[in-house]
Each structure stands twice: as structure tokens, then as C-alpha cells.
Amino acid sequence: MPKTALKKEKWTLSFDPTLKSAVVKAAKRRGVYPVTLLEGLVREKFSPYGHADVEDSAAYVSALRKQGRKQSDEAFLDEIAAWQKSHSS
């Protein structure tokens, strides 16, 4: 049985002109096509595991560290204790 070629769907989206220009500018800064930028944003929003496809790992780790500095040690230990209680059987 011969394989049939998959048809690529073409979509047309209507955008606010100011939003479109912002997307195009951001894509130019990153050196990618606007559609690639939009696909990345959609994947990021719908991915249940956001860390799985981190584009800039250094920036991701830096953001996590900054976020961790805002939380006190006691709050962090309380969070670990609550997690251990919820996962114990």
C-alpha cells in the first residue's frame, strides 16, 4: 500500500496591526520567522511541562534563582514538608 503524503494545512490569522508589528519586530530580534516565534509561544502556553523545551537554559536557571531568593528558608522547608506529606502513601 503506497503512503500518501501528508497535506500541510494553511491557516490565515487576522491580527491587530500593532500586534502584528510587535510580533514581526520580536521575530527579527531573535532571527526567526514570525510563525516560528508564534509556534514557540503557543507550545510554551500549552505544554504541561514548560521546562522540557527551554530555549535559553541560562536565562531559565537565572530566573529560577531570582524566584528562589524571594522565598524565605522557612517557607521553602514548609513547602517540602507539605509535598512529602502529599506524596506519602
pLDDT at 74: 86
- Cell digits of residue 54: 527551554
What φ, ψ does residue 3 adopt, rounded to 5°? -80, 140
Give mean pLDDT, residues 51-64: 76
Asked whether the beta carbons of 36 and 51 are under 8 A apart, the reply is no
State what percent of residues in the chain have pLDDT above 90.
12
Q: Provide the pLDDT confidence category of residue 27 given band limits of 50, 70 and 90.
A: very high
Better-scored residue on pLDDT, 50 or 58: 58
